[in-house]
Structure 1
Amino acid sequence: MADLAPTPPSLRALLGRRDLHLRLVADEHDLAPGILDGPVRWVHSSDLADPTPFLSEGLVLLTTGTQFADATPADYDAYVGRLLARGVQGLGFGTEVVREGIPPLLVTACRDGGMPLFEVPYRTPFIAVARAGAEAIAADAYARRSWSLAAQRAVSLAALRPDGLSATLAELSRQLHCWVGLYDAAGALRTEHPAGTLAAATADALSAEVTTMLRRGTRAAGSLRVGDTAVSVQTLGRGGHLRGALAISADDLDHEARSVVTAVVAMAALALEQQDGLGRAIGTFRAGLVHSLATDDPTLARRAARDLFGPLPAAPVVVGLTPPHAARSTALIEWAEMRAQEGRGELFFGRGDDGLVLVVPAAERSPLDEIAARFEIVVGCSSPTGYDAFSRAVTQARTARDRADAPGVADFADAARAGLLVALGSEAARTVAADALRPLHRHDETHASSLVGTLDAWLANDCSHEAAAQALGIHRHTVRARIAQAQRVLGRDLSSFAARAELWTALRLVE
């Protein structure tokens, strides 16, 4: 079916018409490579000294040479230069109408400029050449329309196959004789035809460009140049809910080829939208397995996941937790699904109560690093654990995530090393701590005393009056008197461990 697409009308084809008796004057070796095979969009005649304001690119111009009656060599060169600059494909000179033969200076100017020059004999009227060109253009347009209809039918039939989307893209590649790639919502290449034909550097650069387009979240279509490769990219899906992108390494597609691409884009978008329902069902099933694992009994989850997703990662595992918004990211879900399929048993995931729960072997945490880097999010990571302590691992991952201050993988072990007070350091805890110390601060402000500082030094020195006095540079009896005063102001017995521990914690949190 791709063979139905003919070569566009060209000057070589026009010269090949025996009924026109046209003769190429210049040696083809003196012309620019491929110029005789360039598409001819029309044939026009004019004897103006400068017809370029009335010409368009891709024309073949016919002339009888009346404009050269008093021309100098410079005039010939200028004339040919203007035609070349306008994109004229060739110049036909009608002989024996105004003068015999073709002016030698015109032959020289055309040879020097690389302009194809051909003779139109007296017996061949210009209208015959123009009509031959118009017929060829019309035949080409009809053939292109026929090819477009046949190509659209071919891709439609391909869509009915069991692997409909992949078969459709393979047929599009065959029809256009070019590389075609389908990217998912995360910008990862999911399907390509022919496979492996793009250079690695080109593929990486194209993936980065597609990812940027998809992150904008708006429907878009455009042409890119990645190195020496021209690529057309069309996003799939509606604005705010893009499902991926279709990339085609073809330059300057005509209207008929674009019609075929448009049909494939519509089919691909429909196929991806239809997959949404299945994706939501699978997502709900995954979430159910996560909740089952949270009971610390993996028996049901192992049995339910085995046939659909493969085995769960082998213990010991680490549990990761993303921010809540990431659990709603289509791009992240699709990327995780692809990653899980590539290596069964290396990643399991599902929605949790406040984020996407990720389970990987403790010895292979690379999926967590990839997700954090690719989507620029925090992923909290638990300590290594077995499935019988899964719920505790989720809590550890949540704690590590909530304590992180920058995108990346945040380990619970690091948060634990920072101490218990770091985990308590919420705004609510600091508010309660400040309220507990407020009577002492109020007393110090009113009486110009130093009860807060003395209490802090006394607690820091294991409640030793002697050590606190040395630290403050005052007498131990002064320390004793201030601590007694602090007890009265607070209304607490500071001889008890509980009271001392609570006040020491309050002082640390307020700091």
Structure 2
Amino acid sequence: MTTVRWLLAQRRLGLSLRAGADGLDRTLDCAVSSELLDAGEWMSGGEVLLTTGMRLTGNDSVWPGYLRHLDEAGVAAVGLGVGFGFDEVPRAMIDTADDLGLPLFEVPLPIPFSAITRAVLDQIAAHRSTQLVTASKAQPRMTRAAASGGSGAVVRELAEAIGQHVVLLDPTLAVVAAAPGTVRASDLDRIREVVARDPETAGAVWMTGDATVTVGRVGSGGRTFGHLGVVGPVAPDDIARMLVGHAISLLAIEHAKPRQVARDLVDLHSDALALAVDGSVAGPGLSRILDRAADPAGKVRAAVFAFTDDDAAARGRRRLVDELEHRWPAVFVHRDGAEVIVALRGDDAGAFVARLLKMVNDNGSAAAGLGPDVEVGELGESVRQAAVACRSAAAGQLADLHGSRSVLAIDPVRQALTDASAQQLAPLRTHDAEHGTDLQGTLLAFLQANGNWGVAAAAAGVHRHTLRHRIERIEDLLDADLSDARTRAELLLMLLTEAVR
């Protein structure tokens, strides 16, 4: 960046600062000479104005108005050539420039104005060349980052290349990635406000007292995938804007992958999620894959959806994949029989999962459970707790045991119930294994219906008389009275812990 400070440091020019030291870091974008009394009318900002002051001699009262007009026009500095109208810089001129913080320097008689102009233009050209070289190196790095690390890597490379904070938001204005580090809450609010004004705009700039916010839309055709925000002390220059545009293009391509590639990736993520749930494979490789599902804090959480049968679960999985593909985080959806497991960001709220349940719940019989937010390596535990919550949910409902502070979310309680169920429910499990029945499923349906025969029979898919016959058989096997509310409550809690075994 070419500044007044740099210009005064060029010893061959012999320039001497006389006033306005507070403005030495003002940026120069050209050098001009003018002897006009109203030169400020012809300035656009960023100039170093060179003058001999020949038309301003003989009256010190003109200097305040002259310099103020230049300062208001955005002139970066003023150089007064001595040896013509003035032998030295007038005191009135120095005092006014100091008051304004407008750099004022003396140009010796032997130094032509053209030498100063050439020095400024050569430096600007050299700086622009350096920027272009930097950009030419940054673009391939960003492209490689997109290919190997996805959207988060692109954001990090862009932030490093332009030296400003960068944040990527999804269509709901949730943070997908940010660099370097997190963006201040106030700046994030400004970015969201800019987007809210016109979500479809290609770009917008908002300047405040301490920052400049630049926002660009990431999308393809009429579809908006998200927004990229840049926050810095000044607006991005031409080179930075070029790099931002390159990043937006890469992010749009990343999000709009060819359909088959996207589906193959979903299948890969499904297998990775299955391995994490099973716990049969662990290691840094699997963790790196699962990291793609995490929020900026590195947290994930699981949701489990229970359907009536395998076919309904297969349809539900397809709809969940279609819905989640519109978001930036990688899609992790795995079907296990009649259940569908989804790995979500740690900051995904229950309201979001409730919307997903409503979308896939065609006949109102599906239920869902939400696990706690955990580190990526503990995703399996979140899945197990989500499964417990799902089993405790009534048809059409979402259960969040941690959010509701349920006792089933407490590890010692779950362990005690698991130990008790192993002993008390053993006769029932043995009967089912030997006779190919599902009395345990019948018992769960009856208990979840709180002993209501009609509701329980409908949930089990049998006639009331059949249900009564099965319940009588269960009471005999367990030596229990299911008309007793306390007995029903204890058995229900035991059955709900089955998901963590």
TM-score, normalised to structure 2, is 0.56
Equivalence for 2:254: 271
Which position in structure 1 is the counterpart of 2:401?
Answer: none
Matched, 1:306 2:268: no
Unpaired runs of at least 5, structure 1 = 1-7, 290-302, 351-357, 361-365, 399-412, 421-511
Name the CA shift for 1:82/1:378 in 2 (closer, same or farther; >3 Å): farther
Which piece of structure 1 moves more, 231-240 or 198-207?
Answer: 198-207
The CA deviation at 1:83 is 0.9
Aligned equivalents of 1:279, 1:26: Cα separation in 2: 63
| Correspondence 1:221 to 2:203 | yes
**Superposition deviation, residue 168 in structure 1:** 2.6
2:3 corresponds in structure 1 to 10
- Cα deviation for residue 254 of structure 1 reads 1.1
Alignment CA distance shift 1:310-1:264 (3 Å): farther
Query: Residue 206 of structure 1 contacts residue 226 of structure 1 at CA under 8 Å; is this kept in 2?
Result: no
The CA deviation at 1:240 is 3.3
1:93 match: 80
Distance 1:77 1:385 in 2: 74
Residue of structure 1 in register with 2:30 after alignment: 42
Match in the other structure for 1:188? 174
After superposition, the Cα gap between the structure-2 partners of 1:108 and 1:344, relative to the gap in structure 1 and judged at 3 Å, is farther
The secondary structure found in structure 2 opposite 1:115 is coil
Are 1:24 and 2:12 an aligned pair? no
Contact 2:20 2:102 survives alignment (8 Å) = no
Aligned to 1:159: 146
**Relative to structure 1, is the Cα distance of residues 205 and 130 closer, same or farther in structure 2, using a 3 angstrom cutoff?**
closer
CA deviations on 1:348-374 (whole Å, 9 max, x unpaired) are 769xxxxxxx999xxxxx965335579
SS in 2 for 1:38: coil
Residues 194 and 204 in structure 2, CA contact (< 8 A), matched pair in contact too = no
Q: 1:222 offset after TM fit, Å?
A: 2.0
* 2:473 paired residue number: none
Residues 69/308 of structure 1: CA separation in 2 closer, same or farther (3 Å cut): same
- Say if 1:110 and 1:349 are closer, same or farther in 2 by CA, change over 3 A: same
Which residue, 72, 84, 98 being the options, matches 2:71?
A: 84
Q: Give the aligned partner of residue 199 of structure 1.
A: 184
Query: Equivalent residue of 1:37, what SS?
Result: coil
1:4-403 mapped onto 2 (5 Å cutoff): 8-26=1-19, 28=21, 31=22, 35-73=23-61, 75-160=62-147, 162-195=148-181, 197-200=182-185, 202-203=187-188, 206=191, 210=195, 218=200, 220-224=202-206, 229-250=211-232, 251-274=234-257, 276-280=259-263, 306-307=274-275, 334=326, 369-371=351-353, 382=365, 397=396
- Separation of aligned partners in 1, 2:176 and 2:396: 31
Cα shift readout 1:264-307 (whole Å, capped 9, x = no counterpart) = 22122112111643445688999xx9xxxxxxxxxxxxx99834
Once the two structures are TM-superposed, the CA of residue 255 in structure 1 deviates from its matched residue by 1.2
The answer on whether the counterparts of 2:187 and 2:213 sit within 8 Å (CA) in structure 1 is no
Q: Secondary structure at the match of 1:25?
A: strand
Tell me: CA distance 1:238–1:20, structure 2 relative to 1, closer, same or farther (3 Å). Answer: same
Q: CA deviation at 1:52?
A: 1.5
Cross-structure match for 1:499? none
Asked if the contact 2:20/2:101 (under 8 Å) is kept, the reply is no
Residue correspondence of structure 1 range 473-488 to structure 2 within 5 A: none
Aligned residue number for residue 288 of structure 2: none
- Over residues 163-189 of structure 1, what are the superposed CA-to-partner deviations in whole Å (9 max), with x where a residue is unaligned? 244333221121122222233344332
SS in 2 for 1:192: strand
Contact 2:17 2:105 in 1 (8 A): yes
The residue identity in structure 2 corresponding to 1:230 is: T
Unaligned runs of 5+ in 2: 280-301, 370-386, 398-447, 456-501
Contact 1:40 1:58 in 2 (8 A): yes
Per the TM alignment, residue 209 of structure 1 is displaced from its structure 2 partner at its CA by 5.9
Q: Deviation at 1:47? A: 1.5
Is the contact between residue 222 and residue 233 of structure 1 (CA under 8 Å) also seen in structure 2? yes
Q: C-alpha separation between the residues in 2 aligned to 1:120 and 1:99?
A: 11
- What amino acid sits opposite 1:175 in the alignment? A
TM-superposed CA distance for 1:25, in Å, is 1.0
CA drift of 1:23 comes to 0.5
Query: Which digits, 9 at most, give the CA deviation of each residue in 1:5-39, with x for residues without a partner?
Result: xxx111111111111111111273xx3xxx21121
Distance 2:89 2:58 in 1: 15
Counterpart contact for 1:318–1:384, Cα < 8 Å: no
Alpha-carbon distance, 1:338 to partner:
6.4
- Aligned identity (percent) is 25
Root-mean-square deviation (Å): 5.0
Task: Give 1:236 deviation, angstroms.
Answer: 2.1
Structure with max Cα Rg: 1
Indicate the residue corresponding to 2:416 in structure 1. Answer: none
SS in 2 for 1:49: coil
Q: 1:53 to 1:272 in 2, by over 3 A?
A: same
Cα drift, residue 253 of structure 1? 0.9
TM-score of the aligned structures, taking structure 1 as reference length: 0.55
CA–CA separation in structure 1 for the residues paired with 2:257 and 2:240: 26
Question: Could you say if the C-alpha distance between residues 43 and 374 of structure 1 is closer, same or farther in structure 2, counting changes exceeding 3 Å?
Answer: farther
| Matches of 1:359 and 1:24, distance apart in 2 | 64
Q: Is the contact between residue 84 and residue 115 of structure 1 (CA under 8 Å) also seen in structure 2?
A: yes
**Equivalences for 1:348-497 in 2 at 5 Å?**
369-371=351-353, 382=365, 397=396
Q: Does the CA contact (< 8 Å) of 1:229 and 1:249 recur in 2?
A: yes
Change (3 A) 1:315 1:375: closer
Residue deviations 1:320-344 (CA, integer Å, cap 9, x gap) = 99xx9x9599665545976978x99
Q: Which residue of structure 1 aligns with residue 410 of structure 2?
A: none
**Separation in structure 2 between the aligned mates of residue 68 and residue 171 of structure 1, nearest angstrom:** 52
Contact 2:255–2:328 (8 Å) recurs in 1: no
Distance 1:119 1:188, change over 3 A: same
Name the SS for the 2:256 alignment partner: helix
From the superposition, tell whether residues 43 and 224 of structure 1 become closer, same or farther in structure 2 (CA, over 3 Å): closer
The one-character-per-residue Cα deviations of 1:131-164 (angstroms, maximum 9, x if unpaired) are 211211221222222222121132233334x324
Change (3 A) 1:280 1:89: same
Check the 8 A contact 1:55/1:86 in 2, yes or no.
yes
Checking the alignment, whether the CA contact within 8 Å between 1:234 and 1:247 is kept in structure 2 is yes
Please give the alpha-carbon distance, in whole angstroms, between the structure 2 residues aligned to 1:375 and 1:384: 7
Match of 1:98, SS state, is coil
Map of 1:490 onto structure 2? none
